[in-house]
Structure 1
């Protein structure tokens, strides 16, 4: 058993390789570093967290009507823990949920669920006051009838002192109120900045001597040994190298199945390719909440989502085949391979970027889709390249949102998160296995120095520009 060391020392003799530097791999590296464990991260890209278009916590799963209450409660717990771990990555603005008249559903089930979630959030805060990361539990959500919005519409913005009403004011001004069912819901579902999360983690880990970040390094083979794993990888120059580790964590995102195949483990999973779009709307001068207009997925009336950033930039989803979803975008694994076969066109978009004509066409469709509920938004223009990626989903249920980690053998874990907030749960379960096996002490700890807010925001803005996105997407909201 590895003996506990003093603070600021690390555990020698137990080495872990993490394949993938997305949210899962990054969170794993942060937690492993906190426990003083020698860690190597292998990331094929140029930096941490450069993957799919994450834009919100999914605290409580409020964006979906179809997922189970159990999943919602899990996501709430995980989101609270994630905010505590990455406080600088949070965009503190609420989300408005609405259902259009033409939609056959309602918010009744969501509102009933929100009551349960508010109770759970209150319990978390009672257990630990540091869990109060989404405001007061009593203010977790508020209902707005049409009469409330009509009354808000005629008020002068500068005279409004209530915080919730301030967020709802631009919605009352511009949303087509006659097209909606009531009530509308304002809920403390916050945003999550991938750029600030990446910056906080990368700056922090750069100063940790026992964590090695290997960028532009692609793992090409894994072989199980008597006491762990041999990992073969290629560096930026294409040179091959090998390293020996005691434990292997597969956090390769939508390519997790590729590593499973190398390791010789079968696994059933889905992968879904999706994209979000960046629009610029210069005519607005107000702070907007995120707005979710529910709809039936895959139909022309699929859910529409408007996510605000500073300087008039917005991220757009539309759960239609013309916007966020794609033909043959959902694929599954086979008996022969744990890796679903993602269409080569979509892999090209992820790895090499989009053709500009396609960017403009899809972004314009996204603007049109949301403008049916917010007519003034027709004035918006293409604001940058899409945020695209492929989302892995363990098993066969495409509606699964709360998943974390699975194990094969004693020394292999795959972090199969669908939502970013599940990453912390996943690595904590891996650490529990380490403790149970006696590989690390339950009290092992290494104190990491976190960078200042200013340094995180500055680095995040640099990351955004380097990756071809507007700097605004890295700036704090709220």
Structure 2
């Protein structure tokens, strides 16, 4: 075995196959190809990053009150890494957290964790000044009492906010403050534009000679070679049967990861959850909004409500209730017989084909009604586009798990199991460490945060590719654009 390892190490033909071109697989392919490792990315769809809706950078996990403090600290560090890789995909506007009066929680319960995140952000800056991507640590979060908001309500909203106070003016003017507990919290959890992120991945991989981008390629079977030192992957590309051999295989197939495990006979417990977000158009909106999260207990009629702004009066809406973002039978488990949880056929039809017009309109109207209960004038909004939707895998059996990255079966097979986009670079780091430790690649190759090919892509290229992706997926062009393309002032 040792001689075999050395032989692989000396070969310049070491090839990595990645199954799945979502945010995980695309980022892994980008990462490894930037290191000079030969990668083939197999994606069954026409383009990259077409999975579950992504709309924000979880720089601290403050959207989720129920997750552990350690997960929040992990998400903060991972989000900083992701923002350094994809600065062109970030919408540099803050998020406002509000606790409704009908909710059992309190604002005070959130503050100890926020203070720890603030200290950790400063520690990361001290460790490496390049980590200062969320503004000053002292402004990681800010509290706003009702008296401050009532004063801000007298000011006119700005299309170019120059202070954290100016970001709060739309909240002060249009949110029903009588329904909320105080203070409100402004936190530097930025937007993340899925179309621009996918555009950057596509352009980087197309330019990198170490990556072979295989779209419209559906994997039909995988077996180990006779030597056990490689994998034979059968796939169909535009109806033509093909086969490729890889020295290392990464399963980044998202909610279909269990199908790849099943092909190889590998056991794995996981959950899969189908979710959707809805697009509304609010023609009466006259200002630049922050993102707003109204906390609530998941699965109840008063579940968390999320209000994500895009240019042109478009808003992406989540309502963590059973008749908006969540679905009956939408959360399923794997079994002893299969590593692939079985989503009901009605969800697979939504993913692979389309929604019924009636359900699309009904659920969008419900999301508008939920957000309108906090922002009364938003009730005039109308459906703006089809939903953003998909299914996500969650390794293990805990549906609240958010900060996860990778698992390994042997020296030559890894699963990227990132629940949130921010975890993908940690996954890539661990895969490179394992390859190096097993002498599959030159041990001198180390995890990196240097991506020269990706950083060479121009804004014009990103915008053009992002708009093409939005058009191909039949979404309005403003969803491929940013509200704010610079770090906010304090």
Q: 2:256 maps to which residue?
A: 255
Q: 1:465 maps to which residue?
A: 471
Is 1:20 the counterpart of 2:25 in the alignment? no
Distance, in Å, in 1 between the alignment partners of 2:467 and 2:279 is 16
Task: Pick closer, same or farther for the CA change 1:3–1:18 going to 2, 3 Å.
Answer: closer
Cα deviation, 1:99-154, whole Å, max 9, x if unaligned, reads 11111111222221110000000011111111011111111110011111111111
Contact 2:44 2:218 in 1 (8 A): yes
Task: Pick closer, same or farther for the CA change 1:291–1:161 going to 2, 3 Å.
Answer: closer
CA apart distance, 1:155: 2.5
TM-score of the pair, normalised by structure 1: 0.96
Is 1:37 the counterpart of 2:43 in the alignment? no
Distance, in Å, in 2 between the alignment partners of 1:235 and 1:161 is 48
CA apart distance, 1:160: 10
Contact 1:94 1:189 in 2 (8 A): yes
Contact 2:96 2:187 in 1 (8 A): yes
Q: 1:455 maps to which residue?
A: 461
Q: 1:231 maps to which residue?
A: 233
* Alignment: residue pair count: 472
Contact 1:2 1:440 in 2 (8 A): no
Distance, in Å, in 1 between the alignment partners of 2:328 and 2:274 is 9
Helix, strand or coil: the match of 1:196? helix
CA apart distance, 1:203: 0.8
Contact 1:65 1:109 in 2 (8 A): no
Contact 1:219 1:232 in 2 (8 A): yes
Q: 1:8 maps to which residue?
A: none
Task: Pick closer, same or farther for the CA change 1:158–1:31 going to 2, 3 Å.
Answer: closer
Q: 1:126 maps to which residue?
A: 126
List runs of 5+ in structure 1 lacking aligned partners: 6-10
List runs of 5+ in structure 2 lacking aligned partners: 1-5, 485-490
Cα deviation, 1:412-444, whole Å, max 9, x if unaligned, reads 000011100001111110011111112222444
Distance, in Å, in 1 between the alignment partners of 2:331 and 2:77 is 28
Alpha-carbon RMSD: 1.7
Q: 1:386 maps to which residue?
A: 387
Distance, in Å, in 1 between the alignment partners of 2:466 and 2:249 is 29
Q: Superposed, which structure 2 residues align to 1:23-172 within 5 Å?
A: 23-157=23-157, 163-172=163-172
Q: 2:300 maps to which residue?
A: 299
Contact 1:99 1:294 in 2 (8 A): yes
CA apart distance, 1:161: 7.6
Contact 2:8 2:440 in 1 (8 A): no
Distance, in Å, in 2 between the alignment partners of 1:106 and 1:363 is 29
Helix, strand or coil: the match of 1:320? coil
Cα deviation, 1:308-361, whole Å, max 9, x if unaligned, reads 000100000000011000010000000000000001111111111212221111
Helix, strand or coil: the match of 2:299? coil
